[in-house]
Amino acid sequence: MARRLRFNGTGSGVNGCPAVHEDLDTGEVIVHGPPVTDPQDIAQLRHLGEGEIPIVVPRELLVDFGPKDVDRVPSLIGLDEFDGLFTRFEHTAWRLETRRRYASDEATETYAQFTRGESVDWDGVDSAWCAERRQQTSLGKRFERVRIIDTPATRGQLYLLDNARRNTAVGEDIRNLTRDEADRLRLPDADFWIFDSRLVALLHFDGGDDLVDVELITEPAAVLRYAQARDAAMHYAVRYEHFAARPAGE
């Protein structure tokens, strides 16, 4: 049975060698690079077994992309501190939304309008959130999201598909993927934001689908994995207005 391998990273910007991969099931690390071939060099190697091939990798490759301490203590922040991230970032804020419902949405008047079958007047929503988004995008900052939609979509997902009209009006780029496509791409089954491609904010929800706290991730190799998921999602995701216009089940 073939391994399930994850590409952690490479020290090369062009040819992809050397590189580090990780087995998702066993945790084993696979490194490839140029082989050591000089007999005098090989003679100095200890415990080189039959069939083993010594390779050369830069030290920084292992520092940047080798697995770190698995007992890393999470860096958790509260929701007020999390809100501050949306004005402190410099260039880009990107989110993957994977959940089937968000309790905070269901507490809004717009959600009540939507569930009653009424046309939601998103243009009439003039909240502090909208004002902040407009201010930040006016500074040249980008907000982008990819939302995962089940087949059939849940009520909460249909609400967010309609809600995208408001988000785009204040400057966000909203796109969608089906759950099947997200699974094919092996996207993380987690909600998170990436700020400036250097900081990941992993969102933690309780059993009632309420956001309770946020875990900050800054380890380069870990941030890169989330960034790779972002790139895959953005490549295949469909802008919300085109996604909403597709026939059901497509």
Residue 153: both structure tokens together? 């979509």
* Separation between Cα atoms, residue 29 and residue 48, nearest integer Å: 18
The CA-based angle 194-220-79, given to 5 degrees, is 40
pLDDT (0 to 100) of residue 13? 59
247 φ/ψ angles, rounded to the nearest 5 degrees: -60, 145
Please check whether residue 98 is in contact with residue 148, taking contact to mean a CB–CB distance below 8 angstroms.
yes
Contact 163, 129 (CB under 8 A): no
pLDDT digits (tens, 9 = 90+) for 17-52: 788 888 888 888 888 889 999 999 999 998 888 899
End-to-end Cα separation, the chain, in angstroms: 32
Per-residue pLDDT tens for 75-107?
Answer: 899 999 999 999 999 999 999 999 999 999 999
> Checking phi first, is residue 230 left (phi over 0); if not, alpha (psi -120 to 50) or beta?
alpha
Percent of the chain with pLDDT over 90: 67
In this prediction, residue 149 has a pLDDT band, given cuts at 50, 70 and 90, of very high
- Could you count the other beta carbons within 10 Å of the beta carbon of residue 30? 14
Q: How far apart are CA 130 and CA 110, in angstroms?
A: 14
Strand order in the sheet with 238-239: 75-77, 211-217, 199-205, 192-195, 92-97, 142-149, 172-178, 238-239
